[in-house]
Chains A and B, each alone.
Chain A
Amino acid sequence: MLRVDHIWAKRGAAVALRNVSLSLSAGKTLAVVGESGAGKSTLIASILGLLRPSAGAITWDHQPVSSCRPALVMQEPRSAFNPVWPLMRAVREPVLGQEQSVTNERIARLCRGLELPMELLERRPREVSVGQVQRVGILRALIAAPPLILFDEPLSALDAVTQKHTARLIADMQQEEGFAALIVTHDLGYALAFADSIAVLKDGQIESISDPGSFVTNPGSSYCQALRDAAVALGSIEVAA
């Protein structure tokens, strides 16, 4: 279980996270929703250990998070891959020392699950569509079977149709592999449709944490209400009267 315990973090001189606490059980999905600048990227960097919080603790099963080798799916699919490498080489990076045949088998299985043709992995990131690169990114995140995967705006670089497809595939893979997913997104509709619980982040602080059902019926703070109403107006969610 992921436990984020009262963390404070700075980006440069500015305070980016104030007293943030979260928890995420194994196999579950937590969506962190907020606008740009709310501190979402700082939260991800802190959980992954890329940034040291100035106060507070982050653990996975009472150990430092790095002990579970969490994986990350990035917002910009192409930049997550070395531009001069075939995708296959990057996919193998997390399992470099392991048995080749086992890895090959796993790649083949994950490719089927993610609806990726194997030949695609021989190409370079620039020669493949963004949607496909993002699925390769998910494949790489899954390859070492980590218990925790972070998704940083996994859909925002994709077009609407691909977004739906990719969201569906992430959910399917989670069913199959059983990882815990922390999804950072500004898309409330996506969060409501796929997450077990929703945390709203605003100006570096947690505004509310609730399950999707109670979020829609009873958003709580005025900010959360505005967020819900905007999503309703756009038609991305429906509220039973």
Chain B
Amino acid sequence: MMLTVVGFLVRAMVVLTGTALLTFALLWNAPGDPAQAIAIARFNAVPTQDVIDQVRAEAGLNASFWAAFLNWIGPLLLFDFGNSSVTGRPVGPDLWVAATYSFPLAITALAIGLAISLPLAILATRRPGGFMDRFAVAIASLGTAIPAFWLGLLLILLFAVQLAWLPAMGARTPTHAVLPALTLGLGIAASLTRIIRSGILEAWEQPFLAAFRHRGVSDRAIGRDHIGPHAAVPVVTVFGLELAFLLEGVVVVEVIFGRPGLGSFLTSAILARDFPHVQAVVLLTALVFVVVNLIIDVVYRVLDPRIGEPDA
């Protein structure tokens, strides 16, 4: 067990270092002069060559690739993300503010997704092939085909423009979060419904369950003791993938609804060539991903003890 934990941590470190290196290499080799872009963003005017050179020196863009990389990664180990090259302020606090907008949104969306998909999948699998089942599958197929940004636009069109029930832009009140959370939540509900449904159906196909039923064990008891745990394994796996969807969705949804958060933070940083900001968001995303996948791996082993044994 100790060995697996160490193995996990080593893998996580490899992944995080790899991500940091890839991002840095990408930023380093991005076309165009970053110093010029930063100077434009900082002074809001076309800068002279002197100003550009000064910015270059300040932002540490004169150093060699590896020197600059080590310069950046060193303080990072102490969770110091450096200073924004546009505003000059430390990145950490600004990133934290952005995260306090994005993470609650993501978690709410996940809750909405579960609240819709779980009952829908259970209803659908009561009678496989029946009306509810077909309905659920159709909705789920449709849901996975709709791009998040378009769904968001449609919801704005319906609830904010036509009905005028809910606000669309900004994040001043909690009601401002309803449409963004719904946009993300519906998308998640679609893919979760598919997974939970097939998980339950697959669980019912285990050969020994027929014998249980034959002996008079109630469906309810079988569902609780056998179907639930069995179906939980694929659902937990997919949660890792849903997370990717969530983080992608957050970026898009924040842009549509004009919400502050990691997505807006990232897109404005890219446009302004604010490298420390871009790097910070990328690393935070990778970190969240690695941590969640670690947790999933652990939950996985608890749910299905066979996983992780040699030769399993």
Contacts and interface: CB of A to CB of B under 8 A. Distances in A.
Interface of A: 12-13
A12 B310 CA distance: 9
A240 B170 CA distance: 100
Nearest to A13: B310
Contacts of B310: 12-13
B205 interface: no
Nearest to B310: A12
Contacts of A13: 310
A13 B310 CA distance: 10
Mostly helix, strand, loop or mixed at chain B's interface?
loop
Interface in B282-312: 310-311
A12 to B, nearest CB: 7
Contacts of B311: 12
3 contacts: A12-B310, A12-B311, A13-B310
Contacts, number: 3
Interface string B22-58: 0000000000000000000000000000000000000
A121 to B, nearest CB: 38
Mostly helix, strand, loop or mixed at chain A's interface?
loop
A12 B311 CA distance: 9
Contacts of A12: 310-311
A77 to B, nearest CB: 27
A9 B44 CA distance: 72
A13 B311 CA distance: 11
A94 to B, nearest CB: 33
A11 to B, nearest CB: 11
Nearest to B311: A12
A108 B311 CA distance: 45
B66 to A, nearest CB: 38
A12 B312 CA distance: 13
B3 to A, nearest CB: 13
A224 B167 CA distance: 88
A31 B243 CA distance: 59
A234 B252 CA distance: 76
B254 to A, nearest CB: 50
A137 B311 CA distance: 30
Interface in B82-115: none
A150 to B, nearest CB: 26
Closest 3 pairs (CB-CB, A-B): A12-B310, A12-B311, A13-B310
A62 B114 CA distance: 68
B261 to A, nearest CB: 49
B186 to A, nearest CB: 44
A14 B311 CA distance: 13
B160 to A, nearest CB: 58
A49 B114 CA distance: 54
B312 to A, nearest CB: 13
A13 B309 CA distance: 13
A15 to B, nearest CB: 16
A14 to B, nearest CB: 11
B51 to A, nearest CB: 65
A49 to B, nearest CB: 24
